[in-house]
Amino acid sequence: MHPLLFAIAADPGYFRGLMATLNSIYAYHAAEIPVFIYQRKMTGEHLEKLHAHPLRPQVWHINDLPTPPIGMWESKQQIFAHCVGRARVVMLLDADLVLTSEMSDVFQLATAGKIVGGTDGGGPNCGVEYAAYDPKLVGSKHPYINTGAVCLDVQRHWDLVGLWAFTANYGAYGPTRGWPLGLPGHGDQGLFHGIAAHLGKTAHYHIMPERLWADCTTHSKVEVRGEDERGRLEVWNLNAGARQRLVHSPPKKWWADDAEPSYARYGDKLRCFLHFDAWTAM
């Protein structure tokens, strides 16, 4: 069983992003921490490139997950549970982000029992629809984590990861509206929020500043201030005046043909992605 692990879900539409994510992991951690990839519809060429990457990731098909998922969000909900017995502390990453710092401190916090992630705006107030999780949640408000990058001990928090997996096809965001449970929330992240609140897991949260983490609602400007011999970037958030931990793609994915105009407001954010994109020949 791996003591630490990175895990990523992706389909062919995210393949270029996935390779950049892998390259960023390799830059900051070399091959010290194993990587699991959960894929669907990848071609033989895709899989060949993944297996040739210096990280040597272990590639799973989404059909290996506990419950046959409807889509990739539903797949992502089951990854932590699939890792139980295979890894202890897992950092789940989206395939449209790159690391811009080491994650050693994040793994240490998770090893100590924390659920580590960044905020994503203020999060929702729990309306009457949240009675589907627990009537006691109605009218309450809880810390809200962006599941694009979240790290936890899957054994210590087996109840959270187990329920997140079980409810994968019961989210109101899905094509069946999650019948018969219809659990509310924005995608896999919304269900993580509702389940964590129901279980009282938010008391274990270690919240990273949104600007320095996923930065989905604060729209910060970043600046590359250096690059070392291993290709690791030193990136600073100019709004927060601090080191940027990772860079997450806004709604317009960085690999889109028309992405550049959308990134002008973010300083060197696109440069960070393209830097690690250039390593795909490794």
Specify the pLDDT at position 82: 97
Specify the pLDDT at position 69: 78
What is the pLDDT confidence band of residue 243, given thresholds at 50, 70 and 90? very high
Average pLDDT of the segment spanning 132-137: 95
What is the pLDDT confidence band of residue 281, given thresholds at 50, 70 and 90? very low
Alpha-carbon gap, residue 197 to 101, rounded angstroms: 30
Domains of the chain with CATH codes: 2-211 (3.90.550.10), 212-281 (no CATH)
* Structure tokens that stand for 102 in this block: 């080491």
Q: Please, where are the H alpha helices in the chain?
A: 15-29, 44-52, 72-83, 104-111, 158-166, 187-199, 260-263, 269-277
Evaluate if residue 268 carries a pLDDT over 60. Answer: yes
Specify the pLDDT at position 282: 44
Alpha-carbon gap, residue 122 to 143, rounded angstroms: 8
Q: What average pLDDT does the chain have?
A: 94
Collapsing DSSP to helix, strand or coil, 54 comes out as coil
Amino acid at the residue 169: N
Cα distances (angstroms) measured from residue 77 to each of 32, 73, 83, 147, 187? 25, 6, 12, 10, 9
Relative to beta strand 97-99, strand 145-153 is: unpaired
What tens digit of pLDDT does each residue of 169-213 get?
999 988 889 899 999 999 999 999 999 999 999 999 999 999 999
Alpha-carbon gap, residue 242 to 258, rounded angstroms: 29
Specify the pLDDT at position 214: 83
Residue 93 per-residue DSSP state:
E
CB atoms within 10 A of CB 185: 24
CA nearest neighbour of 200 among 159, 257, 255, 234? 159
What tens digit of pLDDT does each residue of 81-91 get?
999 999 999 99
